[in-house]
Chain A
Amino acid sequence: MTAVPKLQVLHERGQHEVFCGLTGIMWLHRKIQDAFFLIVGSRTCAHLMQSAAGVMIFAEPRFATAILEEKDLAGLSDANEELDKAAARLLARRPDIKLLFLVGSCPSEVIKLDLSRAALRLSAAHAPNVKVLSYSGSGIETTFTQGEDNCLAALVPELPAEEPGASRSLLVVGTLPDIVEDQLQRTFEALGIAATFFPPRRSRALPPVGPHTRVLLAQPYLAETARRLEERGAQRLKAPFPLGVEGTTQWFAAAASEFGVTHEKLAAVVTPLAERARIALEPSRQRLSGKRVFFFPDSQLEVPLARFLSRELGMHLVEVGTPFLHQELLSAELELLPGVSLSEGQDVERQLGRCRAAKPDLVVCGMGLCNPLEVEGFTTKWSIELVFSPVQGFEQAGDLAALFARPLARRALLQVNACS
């Protein structure tokens, strides 16, 4: 393993203006189509889920909250009984569900409600139709995308072992929109690499894992999942993340090199895709080049995004804030991005102070901060959209750049002043 150069990072510990890990359920429940996420929590958890959804989702979603009440706090045995009843009601209503996640929350963890034992109990009760697992999405344990990390980590022990004598295989890890996954899969096929994706769309289609498995992370926030996969013998490939042309090219190159794909073949497959993506970047590059951007911490995607904005779109990075900096997972990214001003954790008031002093051209921040900053005259990009939209891979590189260019384009268009 290459040594990671020592970085200057500002560590902050104050008010964190970030979502908790429960929010990951928003995309996880769309991805694993026969899974249901039951939050064991409070009215606050339920309220967060419907507020973070922005507009309420039309169909009945595959998540719900079992809201703890006064009597559940009085005795844990009663709480367990109540939980069993809630799960039974839910599964009776949704016979299509094959995998049920019990998702721990701040209150369930503070009262030490043991959801892993509850999951075992419920698994036995509802076998073989439904498998029940648990993970924590609580705000005291997780920040936003760490919820997905915990969810996938809980699934790793369920993955079947490789067949004896299995040939080398590639496992792409991290939730991607189906359309992106299909595009990436086509490229792997063209390279002659057999790739499977995790999490799968159907909970019973779990990919095998073992010493012949090579893991390529599609998302930067999967530290615990990667660790557990490594415990099962898999080897993680060092690569930047598939954001932008450069990141995606190097991401494929890392797999190609491991699987013995020749440079000629890699170039033949990837170069036309990269050329097309560069054309798509151009309009946004013209708008963004030379502009200064400030990232508030949100999804842990900040470092790869900053690398993309800086190296491919010519933006200047004022500050790149991230909730956590996994230097090992990000080593390939950090090598591409030397000398940047990084901050980890948050003290939102102080960070706002730095942002106001620096007067960046574009601020990337969460929904709670955007409009007040717009009122102050800043142009902002809503960071959650970077998590919910298809942004990975060659075909989305132009869309990703456009997400950053649009707020500036809009501000240039409007001839009425909102800030007076």
Chain B
Amino acid sequence: MQLSVWTYEGPPHVGAMRVVTAMRGVHYVLHAPQGDTYADLLFTMIERRRERPPVTYTTFQARDLGGDTAGLFKTAATEAYERFKPELLVVGASCTAELIQDDPGGLGKTLGLPVPVVPLELSAYQHKENWGAGETFYRLVRACVPPPASPPARAGPRRRCNVLGPTALGFRHRDDVKELEGLLARLQVTVNVMAPLGASPRDLARLGDADFNVVLYPEIAAPAATWLAKAFGQVNVTTVPIGVGATQDFIREVAALAEVDPSPLLGQGQSRLPWYSSSIDSTYLTGKRVFVFGDGTHALAAARVAVEELGFTLVGLGTYSREQARAVRSAAERYGVPALVTEDHLEVEELMTKLQPELVLGTQMERHIAKRLGVPCAVISAPVHVQDFPARYSPQVGFEGANVLFDTWVHPLMMGLEEHLLHMFRDDFEFQDSPSHLGAAPPAKAAPLPAAPLPAAPLPAKADSPHDLWSDEARSELQKIPFFVRGRARRNTEQFAKDRGLHHITLETLYDAKAHFQR
């Protein structure tokens, strides 16, 4: 039994819904109790899709349990077929329906429908959303793609690819695929099938025609891509083109397969990130302490961009994707930082509090934690929120994606010149100690105080320093430090004093500590 307040991933049948909702011509009949229909609002409210997801729920109740829930399922499936006339029907159970063991797969086969019925077994008590999406996509591929007797022989340039992985409710999948298609077109590569997003079962049947696969989101695409590579002798391109460096690696990899010259795409001016990052205003980004947490794909990509393209210092790297734990651990080792693989956001909060980053690149969950800690944050990964579906074009992959990363990560930070001016004018009596772009209230005070003790308000009031740790002189000096580093200065100084058994912080202690923690 796992105690959980917020979860990074939904149950596996929500993963299945993300796949079928992304596709055309597929309908999902889900054996599930009343209430599980809440999942529709993820798609209609959060993603603002224009149609309801193609899902029929049996919504059984307690009074049905003694009776014929299997009959209820058969009726629901038959009526769903009649109403929606899909090319293919997916059938499965949510967590509760798994327990009543009606076997939707077996029942689905007995209905005699004129379309394929694909059963899903998602083991809701073991697995989660991304696994469910990956498994569903794999099952659909296996059901739709006739395996060849032997892998076809391939010769010459490989210029037809599949793009695998984008789904409904994916973090920026909508814009990523557009950016990626542009990139592939410039490499003279045509997209054979993009799936699941926008594909029909008939499209899936053509997956074998491609020369190679772009495994865009391995959490979802890896099981299907692995099988396709084996069955059809396709190459899997697994570099995820997020960030300038990774995009260039991707271009080289694809260009080698397609036998085209990558150099026009590798020259300067493709993305503004390298120049913006070199320009003098970005000097202040140097060595900013960054904590990264997200799904495996986005966390790994963010770590690389943070270190190699923005000159940040990575202080911690983590993921909730168990499937990519190994990759994240080995990356963390390479960067010499602690790796955190967990689904418990309280553990993430604990590590973030300890590491005292100056910028957090995380999910909506880390955004809330960062808000409490008064640390700037940019969101890089699912779980998605209504804000993660912006009206504007906002990809993560490719060169435009790199531009987006630069803007989204740097804007929460103090602008270089602005930071300099704050230092210059902090003693001016007219100086307002709150930055224009972070809203009217200082962030540390904006959120209600959480239950767990956390580093509190920026300035040590007498009330929360019961032993009168701070001398008046030191406290008033602390007040002169800009608010956005004051919390850290305070924590560092108190830690410094504690480590040395000092019961009183004087002006000297403050500056001793500053020297001690100076990078």
Chain A residue nearest in CB terms to B349: A60
Q: Which listed residue, B58, B100, B124, touches A110 by the CB 8 Å rule? A: B100
Among the listed stretches A84-92, A173-181, A188-196, A249-257, which one makes contact with chain B, having 4 or more residues with CB under 8 Å of it? A84-92
Chain B residue nearest in CB terms to A95: B451
Residues of A near B96 (CB, < 8 A) are 42, 44, 106-107, 110, 139-140
A15 in contact with B5 (CB, 8 Å): no
Cα distance A96–B451 when bound, in Å?
A: 9
A106 in contact with B33 (CB, 8 Å): yes
Chain A residue nearest in CB terms to B372: A58
A15 in contact with B36 (CB, 8 Å): no
Residues of A near B372 (CB, < 8 A) are 58
Cα distance A111–B99 when bound, in Å?
A: 8
Give chain A nearest CB distance to B9 CB in angstroms.
Answer: 8
Among A49-95, those with CB < 8 Å from B are 50-52, 54-56, 58-61, 63-70, 72-73, 79, 82-83, 85-86, 89-90, 93-94
Residues of A near B4 (CB, < 8 A) are 46, 64-67
B368 in contact with A44 (CB, 8 Å): no
B124 in contact with A42 (CB, 8 Å): yes
What 0/1 pattern do residues 15 to 43 of B give for CB contact below 8 A with A?
00000000000000000011111111110
B125 in contact with A70 (CB, 8 Å): yes
What 0/1 pattern do residues 362 to 374 of B give for CB contact below 8 A with A?
0011001001100
> Are A140 and B62 CB-contacts (below 8 A) given A52-B38, A69-B1, A368-B52?
yes
Among the listed stretches B288-296, B415-423, B442-450, B485-493, which one makes contact with chain A, having 4 or more residues with CB under 8 Å of it? B442-450
Cα distance A239–B86 when bound, in Å?
A: 50
> Are A47 and B11 CB-contacts (below 8 A) given A66-B2, A89-B3?
yes
Interface size of A as a range: 35 or more
A-B contacts at CB below 8 angstroms, number? 196
Chain B residue nearest in CB terms to A79: B1
Judged by a CB distance under 8 angstroms, whether A266 is at the interface is no
> Are A20 and B34 CB-contacts (below 8 A) given A44-B124, A140-B96, A372-B50?
yes
Give chain A nearest CB distance to B77 CB in angstroms.
Answer: 12
Judged by a CB distance under 8 angstroms, whether B10 is at the interface is yes
Cα distance A59–B38 when bound, in Å?
A: 23
> Are A43 and B51 CB-contacts (below 8 A) given A15-B58, A19-B38, A96-B451?
no
B34 in contact with A18 (CB, 8 Å): yes
- Total count of chain B residues near the partner, CB < 8 A: 65
Judged by a CB distance under 8 angstroms, whether B65 is at the interface is yes
What 0/1 pattern do residues 210 to 229 of A give for CB contact below 8 A with B?
00000000000000000000
Residues of A near B57 (CB, < 8 A) are 15
Give chain A nearest CB distance to B34 CB in angstroms.
Answer: 4
> Are A66 and B11 CB-contacts (below 8 A) given A42-B95, A109-B62, A368-B38?
no
Judged by a CB distance under 8 angstroms, whether A375 is at the interface is yes
Chain B residue nearest in CB terms to A58: B447
Residues of B near A60 (CB, < 8 A) are 5, 450-452
Among A374-390, those with CB < 8 Å from B are 375
Give chain B nearest CB distance to A355 CB in angstroms.
Answer: 13
> Are A93 and B7 CB-contacts (below 8 A) given A369-B44, A372-B51?
no
A55 in contact with B385 (CB, 8 Å): yes
Residues of A near B9 (CB, < 8 A) are 43
Judged by a CB distance under 8 angstroms, whether B49 is at the interface is yes
Judged by a CB distance under 8 angstroms, whether B334 is at the interface is no
Residues of A near B368 (CB, < 8 A) are 56, 58
Chain B residue nearest in CB terms to A47: B10
Chain A residue nearest in CB terms to B94: A44
B126 in contact with A140 (CB, 8 Å): no
A47 in contact with B7 (CB, 8 Å): yes
Cα distance A375–B43 when bound, in Å?
A: 14
Judged by a CB distance under 8 angstroms, whether A143 is at the interface is yes
Judged by a CB distance under 8 angstroms, whether B411 is at the interface is no
A58 in contact with B49 (CB, 8 Å): no
Q: Which listed residue, A59, A109, A140, A368, touches B44 by the CB 8 Å rule? A: A368
B1 in contact with A72 (CB, 8 Å): yes
A367 in contact with B45 (CB, 8 Å): yes
> Are A140 and B33 CB-contacts (below 8 A) given A56-B365, A79-B1?
yes
B35 in contact with A59 (CB, 8 Å): no
Judged by a CB distance under 8 angstroms, whether A17 is at the interface is yes
Chain B residue nearest in CB terms to A419: B50
Judged by a CB distance under 8 angstroms, whether B265 is at the interface is no
Residues of A near B509 (CB, < 8 A) are none
Residues of B near A182 (CB, < 8 A) are none
Judged by a CB distance under 8 angstroms, whether B227 is at the interface is no
B1 in contact with A44 (CB, 8 Å): no
B40 in contact with A368 (CB, 8 Å): yes
Give chain A nearest CB distance to B21 CB in angstroms.
Answer: 12
Judged by a CB distance under 8 angstroms, whether B431 is at the interface is no
Judged by a CB distance under 8 angstroms, whether B429 is at the interface is no
B1 in contact with A67 (CB, 8 Å): yes
Interface centre among B3, B39, B83 (most CB of A within 10 A): B3
Cα distance A366–B39 when bound, in Å?
A: 12
Judged by a CB distance under 8 angstroms, whether A32 is at the interface is no
Chain A residue nearest in CB terms to B49: A371
Judged by a CB distance under 8 angstroms, whether A48 is at the interface is yes
Chain A residue nearest in CB terms to B79: A349
Judged by a CB distance under 8 angstroms, whether A344 is at the interface is no
Judged by a CB distance under 8 angstroms, whether A16 is at the interface is yes
B371 in contact with A43 (CB, 8 Å): no
Judged by a CB distance under 8 angstroms, whether A22 is at the interface is yes
Residues of B near A312 (CB, < 8 A) are none
A43 in contact with B33 (CB, 8 Å): no
Q: Which listed residue, A65, A139, A349, touches B33 by the CB 8 Å rule? A: A139
Among A234-251, those with CB < 8 Å from B are none
What 0/1 pattern do residues 276 to 304 of A give for CB contact below 8 A with B?
00000000000000000000000000000
Residues of A near B46 (CB, < 8 A) are 51
Give chain B nearest CB distance to A210 CB in angstroms.
Answer: 33
Q: Which listed residue, B1, B33, B448, touches A86 by the CB 8 Å rule? A: B1
Judged by a CB distance under 8 angstroms, whether B414 is at the interface is no
Residues of A near B452 (CB, < 8 A) are 60, 93
Cα distance A79–B2 when bound, in Å?
A: 11
Q: Which listed residue, A48, A96, A349, A375, touches B50 by the CB 8 Å rule? A: A375
Give chain B nearest CB distance to A166 CB in angstroms.
Answer: 38
Identify 5 residue pairs between A and B in the complex whose beta-carbon atoms are under 8 Å apart, listed by A's number.
A51-B39, A68-B1, A94-B451, A110-B100, A366-B41
- Beyond A111-B99, A138-B35, A370-B45, list 9 extra A-B contacts (CB 8 Å): A14-B59, A20-B35, A44-B13, A44-B94, A47-B39, A58-B448, A66-B1, A69-B126, A140-B64
A-B pairs with the 8 shortest C-beta distances?
A: A20-B35, A139-B35, A368-B40, A82-B1, A106-B96, A47-B10, A42-B95, A139-B33
